[in-house]
Structure 1
Amino acid sequence: MNTEKSHQATLKRLEKFSRFTDSSIRIPFTHFKLGAESLIGILPVVGDLAGLLLSSYVLFEAQRLGVGWGIKLRIIINMLIDFFAGLLPIIGDIFDVYFKANTRNTRLLARHLSQ
């Protein structure tokens, strides 16, 4: 498989993953969507650790694609913001609905690969 097709296949997987973790469930009568990670994050500490582990998938794919440390560092920063904010009771859960770290990181990776 050529590099372009491989990158597109990876991005397609990451977009599905991000949609599942960040915005797969629409809140009725609103425009808000949340994902599996938001639901898991409701569990104190353990849910946030599980979310961090899930988010590492985007970093794993970035590493597999040979992305430089600058982009990987930005991915890690987004992961850590999401993790530490999620540790705050209630406020962290609300923050997670808006921040959508996996979607941010997938878009970051897509922009980098399109250059």
Structure 2
Amino acid sequence: MPKSSAIDQDPRLRRVRGLARVLDSSIPLGGGRRIGLDPIIGLLPGGGDAIGAIFSCYILWEGARLGVPGRNLWRMAGNILLETVVGAVPIAGDLFDFAWQANVRNVRLIERTLRSGAVRPSRSRKAIATGVLVAAIAFVLLVAALAWWILASLWGWLHGLLG
């Protein structure tokens, strides 16, 4: 089992911790609650949630590079998927994004895996990382296209209703 101090000093883990903090909990709101840039980026119509998901995919990719097993990578991808899909719903999705904090969840999952010593052999890390990253990017592009189509449809419907 790897020593905790060695894990804590890994530059990749430090990077994903910092990114998760910026995305999910960098701005204090008072009452002990914090918000990050992810729900704020999600407010951008037509792809804000897809942009946030791309940043989240970096944490997933680094998890794969660190040797996190496939089942945990899929769980991390599910966290991102849930946050991205629900986050695409105006207002309610942004509130969910604020509460769910997929990035912080995923970093905790990486840390638990590393501390338990349940990492995969290093020779498969690159293949897993590449596969996960390609799948995640394809998914993000699909969500962005779907969000754009929904917004265009709503705009057309509103234009027809009001015009």
Per the normalisation by structure 2, the TM-score is 0.64
Q: Percent identical across equivalent pairs?
A: 38
Q: 1:8: Cα distance to partner? A: 3.6
2:43 aligns to what SS in structure 1? coil
Report how many residues are paired: 112
Structure 1: tracts of 5 or more residues without a match: none
Residues of 1 paired with 2:91 and 2:39: CA distance? Answer: 11
Tell me which amino acid in the other structure corresponds to 2:58. Y
Match of 2:16 among 11, 14, 37: 14
Q: 1:20: Cα distance to partner? A: 0.4
Per the normalisation by structure 1, the TM-score is 0.89
Q: 8 Å contact 2:53–2:84 — kept in the other structure?
A: yes
Structure 2: tracts of 5 or more residues without a match: 117-163
Structure 1 residue runs of 4 or more that deviate by more than 3 Å after TM superposition: 3-8
Residue equivalent to 1:112: 113
Q: 1:58: Cα distance to partner? A: 0.9
Q: 8 Å contact 1:26–1:33 — kept in the other structure?
A: yes
Residues of 1 paired with 2:100 and 2:32: CA distance? Answer: 15
Residue equivalent to 2:61: 60
Residues of 2 paired with 1:59 and 1:20: CA distance? Answer: 16
Select the structure of larger CA radius of gyration: 2
Tell me which amino acid in the other structure corresponds to 1:17. L
